[in-house]
Amino acid sequence: MLSAFARAFQTPDLRKKLLFTLGIMVLFRLGAHIPVPGVNFVAVNQCYKQTTSGLFGLVNLFSGGALLQLTIFALGIMPYITASIILQLLTVVIPRLEALKKEGQAGTAKITQYTRYLTIALAVLQGTGIVATASSGALFPGCVAANQIVPDQSVFRIAVMVITMAAGTTVIMWLGELITDRGIGNGMSILIFTSIAAGFPGSMWAIKQSGKLFGGWGEFFSVIAVGIVVVVLVIFVEQAQRRIPVQYAKRMIGRRAFGGTSTYIPLKVNQAGVIPVIFASSLLYIPALVVQLTNSQAGWATWIRTNFVKGDHPVYMVTYFVLIVFFAFFYVAISFNPEEVADNMKKYGGFIPGIRAGRPTAEYLNYVLTRITWPGALYLGMIALIPMIALVAFGQQTNFPFGGTSVLIVVGVGLETVKQIESQLQQRNYEGFLR
């Protein structure tokens, strides 16, 4: 990986792309430290040091800590992720979106435009919720200065804060598209990678300071060892795939023969990626968020506070694991259609050796996909439970940097970026057959 970056810096056009990407990343991190107008930044800093991320941990993770500091990039890239997931789910349900998806580049551009509009709408909704929560003091429960975070709670001031946060999300979306067009890798993925990786040094140092073994260095190096094992496991599983062989029959068109080639369908063990973890985390936030906003003292509210607020409770851990497994199968079912793949293969004269074309091929693909999704779903559940296990072992759930969502995204984006750099290097160094 390091050799690929070194060779990329030696290539002038790739060096410009890498420096442009790094510049956008620096600009993105700079915006994550500029407070929203109307916020008492002294009170925010005081409460931020006293409390943990709580219910807003997932959004705070994707914003690189900007959410709980109420900066102009407080919402981060989360509205865009949510909009993309919603559009992807609606593509299966709405025939119009499905037709646009099949139109190729023009249809994809139209869906991207819909995603942008939905992102802005979600940013306004989420910004309104965050500002209302901060104004009521519920963003930092237990902090004395929580009610002083938004001193001026007039309609005009609240509207300015919401518009600023929504505009920050729009700027982030634009920066991500700039990286995609003029930089290296997928822009949105790079920005998510930047947000998560920015919290690693602070989390590691917090573990060292709060540790008790050998002045905190015992916990520090133990977490690094666990992190290395987790990263190796994630790389191994993320690269694992089942290759279904496909043979294309020869076809005579005029005097020329076409086809007769052999290829394969790559079915990844973790076909769903990090989406099931995001779905499960978001769903588990809803009950605790309802209890926090309503401040109810009923029996059901007390049960939720006991079982679904702290991540170390067995009920929470089991529910989280089951939801991840469920959403892994759900997302794979809507993102990969065996019948459509089998129909396309049959249309172009392709078949799986030993399997008849058509419905038997679709049944075989569905059978294989179900079998390899089980280990992928269990692997996602185990990786996601690592921060909760760390809470029991080290008491460091908030500071533990090698959690399931963060490691999956960082490793996945890192591998994909390195592959793109190597492919571009190969294109520039390709000598051809004639010399």
Task: Check residue 91 and give its pLDDT.
Answer: 82
Average pLDDT over residues 40-68: 67
List C-alpha distances in Å: 429 to 7, 71, 434.
Answer: 11, 44, 14
Spatial separation of the C-alpha atoms in residues 75 and 113, rounded to whole Å: 20
Among 117-131, 183-197, 235-249, the range with the most confident prediction by mean pLDDT is 117-131
Task: Check residue 120 and give its pLDDT.
Answer: 92
Task: Check residue 150 and give its pLDDT.
Answer: 81
List C-alpha distances in Å: 348 to 91, 145, 264, 345.
Answer: 25, 67, 14, 5
Average pLDDT over residues 411-428: 76
Are 387 and 403 spatial neighbours (Cβ–Cβ below 8 Å)?
Answer: yes
Weakest-pLDDT range from 293-307, 395-409, 417-431: 395-409
Spatial separation of the C-alpha atoms in residues 199 and 192, rounded to whole Å: 12
Instruction: Give backbone dihedrals phi and psi of 86, rounded to 5 degrees, phi first.
Output: -60, -45
With 70 as the cut, is the pLDDT of residue 189 above it? yes
DSSP 35: B
Task: Check residue 402 and give its pLDDT.
Answer: 57
With 60 as the cut, is the pLDDT of residue 99 above it? yes
DSSP 151: S
Q: pLDDT, tens digit, for every residue of 207-241?
A: 777 777 777 777 778 777 877 887 888 888 888 88
With 70 as the cut, is the pLDDT of residue 71 above it? yes
For residue 109, list its beta bridge partners. Answer: none
Spatial separation of the C-alpha atoms in residues 71 and 30, rounded to whole Å: 10
Are 400 and 311 spatial neighbours (Cβ–Cβ below 8 Å)?
Answer: no
What's the distance, Cα to Cα, between the start and end of the chain in Å?
30
Average pLDDT over residues 382-406: 63
Number of CB atoms found within 10 A of residue 110's CB: 15
With 80 as the cut, is the pLDDT of residue 330 above it? yes
Helical ranges in 186-298 per DSSP H: 187-198, 200-210, 217-239, 275-294
Q: Which is higher by pLDDT, 261 or 270?
A: 270
Average pLDDT across the chain, whole number: 78
Tracing tokens 């002038």 back to the chain, one arrives at 12
Spatial separation of the C-alpha atoms in residues 399 and 379, rounded to whole Å: 22
Spatial separation of the C-alpha atoms in residues 337 and 258, rounded to whole Å: 27
How many Cα atoms sit within 13 Å of 241 on the Cβ side? Answer: 13
Q: pLDDT, tens digit, for every residue of 140-188?
A: 776 777 777 888 778 888 888 899 989 999 999 899 889 888 888 788 8
Share of the chain above pLDDT 70, in %: 83
Residues in the chain: 435
Spatial separation of the C-alpha atoms in residues 328 and 374, rounded to whole Å: 9
Are 28 and 39 spatial neighbours (Cβ–Cβ below 8 Å)?
Answer: no
On the 0-12 / 13-18 / 19+ scale of CB atoms within 10 A, 60 is buried
In a 3-state reduction of DSSP, which class is residue 245?
Answer: strand
